[in-house]
Amino acid sequence: MSYVNYLKATNLLLKCDDYHSGGGKSLYTVERAEKILDVAFSKQIKDYLTTFGCVSFSEHEMDGIAKDTFDDFTTLAGNMVEMTLFFRQNHGLPKKWLPIYCFGYNGYYGYLDHSQLNADGEPPVIMAMFDGEKYIIVERVAEDFGDFLLELVENCLNNQQ
């Protein structure tokens, strides 16, 4: 069901105001990112990265892979690989978490939590914040990336009407 929601979200995404894609990345680049992060991407995330790279629409920005190199830490926004490495090194981000979405208030961020894969091998999206010493999970936002993206896209389309 969740992959169905992912496909539905990606089809509807193009109808959102201010839609922009960073451009899909090659499988080679995506596999390099997996190796660098030491995390196996799920089916949905691999498809997202190879199809879109990263996206923004309405007031939302979904992190991903914005470029083919992972050595520039001057621009973290939108760049999941560099952001993960930076947060791991500087804030002790859990190894199985990947940043995917900024909620835009008080440091709350959405992470793919690869330590809790569902039956389809998909990580949930959790909301967490760094309190200066450690990360605190605020809530589980969605069963997986597809469910999360679909909710954002549907809200975007409802607000456009």
In the chain, the domains with their CATH numbers are: 2-160 (3.40.1580.10)
Global pTM reads 0.93
Q: Are 43 and 121 in contact (CB under 8 A)?
A: yes
The identity of residue 12, as a single letter, is: L
Q: Are 65 and 36 in contact (CB under 8 A)?
A: no
Q: Which residues pair with 79 in a beta bridge?
A: 64
| SS3 call for 56 | strand
| pLDDT (tens place) for every residue of the chain, 161 residues total | 579 999 999 999 999 999 999 999 999 999 999 999 999 999 999 999 999 999 999 989 999 998 877 776 666 667 899 999 999 999 999 999 999 999 977 789 999 999 999 999 999 999 999 999 999 999 999 999 999 999 999 999 998 87
Residue 147: which of 5, 10, 4 has the closest Cα?
Answer: 5
